[in-house]
Amino acid sequence: MAGPDRAPGKNWLGRVASLKFTLAILVLLGIGVALSYQNRDGGWVTWLMVGPLALFALNLIAAIATHPTIRTQAWLLIFHLALLAIILLVAAGRLTYLKGAIELTEGEVFGGELTRAESGLWHWWRLDRVRFVNQGFTINYAPGVQREHTYNRVRWVDEHGIERTATIGDQTPLVLYGYRFYTSFNKGFAPVFSWYPAGGGAPRRGSVHLPSYPAKEFSQAQGWTLPGNLKVWAMLQIDEVILDRDKASRFRAPEKHRLVLRIGDDRHELRPGGRVALPQGVLVYEGLRAWMGYRVFSDWTLPWLLASCALAVVSLALHFWRKFSAKPWSPA
Partner 1 sequence: MERELQLLWVAVACYVAAGVVAIFGVVLGKRPERTVLGLLTAALAIHGYSIGVRWERLGHGPFITLFEILSSNIWSLTLVFALAYWRYRPVRPIAAIVMPILFVMMAWLLVTDPERGHLPATYDTLWLYIHIGFGKIFLGAVLVAVGMAGVILLREAGWGIAKLARLPADDRLDDLAYRFMALGLIFETLMLVAGAIWAQDAWGRYWAWDPLETWAFITWLTLAFALHLRFTVKTSPRTGAVMILSVFALAFLTFFGVPFISTSPHKGAI
List contacts with partner 1 (CB under 8 A): 1-4, 19-20, 22-23, 26-27, 29-30, 33-34, 36-37, 40, 99, 142, 144, 146-150, 170-173, 180, 182, 184-185, 295-297, 302, 305-306, 309-310, 312-313, 316-317, 320, 324, 329-332
DSSP bridge pairs for 176: 179
Instruction: Candidates 16, 25, 176, 292: give the one binding ligand HEM (CB under 6 A).
Output: 25
Residue 194 interacts with which of ligand HEM, partner 1, none, CB < 5 to 8 Å by class: none
Residue 331 binds which of ligand HEM, partner 1, none (CB < 5-8 A, kind-dependent): partner 1
Q: Using the rule CB under 6 A, which residue among 13, 14, 15, 19 binds ligand HEM?
A: 19
Peptide bond into 214 cis (omega under 30): yes
CB nearer to partner 1: pick between 80 and 209:
80
Which option in ligand HEM, partner 1, none does residue 182 bind, with CB closer than 5 to 8 A by kind? Answer: partner 1
Quick one: which of 308, 313, 307, 318 has its CA closest to 75? 318
* 229 binding partner (options ligand HEM, partner 1, none; Cβ < 5 to 8 Å by kind): none
Stretch near ligand HEM under the rule CB under 6 A, chosen from 41-49, 55-63, 130-138, 270-278: 55-63
Distance CA(70)–CA(185), nearest Å, equals 48
Q: Which is nearer to partner 1, 151 or 196 (CB)?
A: 151
Residue 80 partner contact from ligand HEM, partner 1, none using kind-dependent CB cut-offs of 5 to 8 Å: ligand HEM
Amino acid (1-letter code) at residue 282: V
- Which residue's CB is nearer to partner 1, number 168 or number 210? 168
- What's 158's DSSP letter? -
Shortest distance (Å) from residue 2 CB to ligand HEM: 3
Residue of the chain from 16, 48, 53, 76 that contacts ligand HEM (CB under 6 A): 76
Among 16, 48, 53, 70, binds ligand HEM (CB under 6 A): 70
Please give the span between the terminal C-alpha atoms of the chain, in angstroms, as a whole number: 19
152 binds, among ligand HEM, partner 1, none (CB under 5 to 8 A by kind): none
Q: With respect to partner 1, which residue has the nearer C-beta, 148 or 269?
A: 148
Q: Which residues contact 27 (CB under 8 A, 6 or more apart)?
A: none
In angstroms, the CA 239 to CA 104 distance is 25
36 in helix, strand or coil?
Answer: helix
Does 234 interact with ligand HEM (rule: CB under 6 A)? no
Residues present in the chain in total: 332
73 φ/ψ angles, rounded to the nearest 5 degrees:
-105, 100
Going by DSSP bridges, is the β-strand pair 275-278/281-298 parallel, antiparallel, or unpaired?
antiparallel
Listed in order, strand segments (DSSP E) in the chain are 98-105, 116-119, 133-142, 146-157, 163-168, 174-176, 179-197, 204-207, 221-226, 230-238, 249-250, 257-263, 266-270, 275-278, 281-298
- In this structure, what are the phi and psi dihedrals at residue 16, rounded to the nearest 5 degrees? -65, -30
Residues that bind ligand HEM (CB under 6 A): 1-2, 19, 22, 25, 56, 59-60, 63, 67, 69-70, 76, 80, 83, 323
